Amino acid sequence: MADAQRTAHAVWEGSLTGGAGAVTLTSSGAAGPLPVTWASRSARSEGKTSPEELVAAAHCSCYCMALSGILGENGTPPERLEATATVTFAQIEGGFKVASSALEVKGTVPGMDAAAFKDAANKAKDGCPISGALKNNVEITVVAELV
């Protein structure tokens, strides 16, 4: 497989707290322009997105792919995986930081018990490329439930 590149484009106008911007997923054309403001990042979304919400979308979708791959390699491909990533933007000394990404996954996997599913879910956390990009900088947790 050749290296893959994906592109997004952002525009911002005005000050940090009074300004506004938009982000567009340009390589796919799948979304955008999506409005973004400081308030949507730090207080209330009011129909606008934030960098952290986009990271959450990337993390939970990548995680599902990684978990699906692991389950398939184990001979127990999933019927369905449903994951949520909650990314926390926190104020710290000297500024702000993406502090954590909490993954929650529910899976329907015929022929697998809950313990094996939790083990695969934790392996997927470490094997997900987005987790790898966040590793050693952002706390990543997983809660897995077999349904």
Task: Specify the pLDDT at position 2.
Answer: 86
Q: Which two tokens stand for residue 32?
A: 């955008």
What DSSP element (H or E) covers 56? helix 51-73
For the residues 138-144, what does the mean pLDDT come to? 97
Fold of 51-146: GMP Synthetase; Chain A, domain 3 (3.30.300)
CA nearest 133: which of 51, 85, 50, 62?
Answer: 62
pLDDT digits (tens, 9 = 90+) for 28-43: 999 999 999 999 998 8
Task: Specify the pLDDT at position 43.
Answer: 87
**Per-domain residue ranges of the chain:** 8-42, 51-146
Inter-CA distances, 146 with 55, 74, 77, 105, 120, Å? 25, 16, 13, 8, 11
First to last CA, the chain: 34
* Residues in Cβ contact with 7 at an 8 Å cutoff, skipping those fewer than 6 apart: 26, 27
Q: In terms of pTM, does the model score above 0.75?
A: yes
What is the torsion angle, in degrees rounded to the nearest 10, for the CA atoms of residue 45, residue 46, residue 48 and residue 53? 30
pLDDT at 1 over 80: no
pLDDT digits (tens, 9 = 90+) for 73-127: 999 999 999 999 999 999 988 899 999 999 999 999 999 999 999 999 999 999 9
Task: Specify the pLDDT at position 145.
Answer: 97
The fraction of the chain above a pLDDT of 90, given in percent, is 93
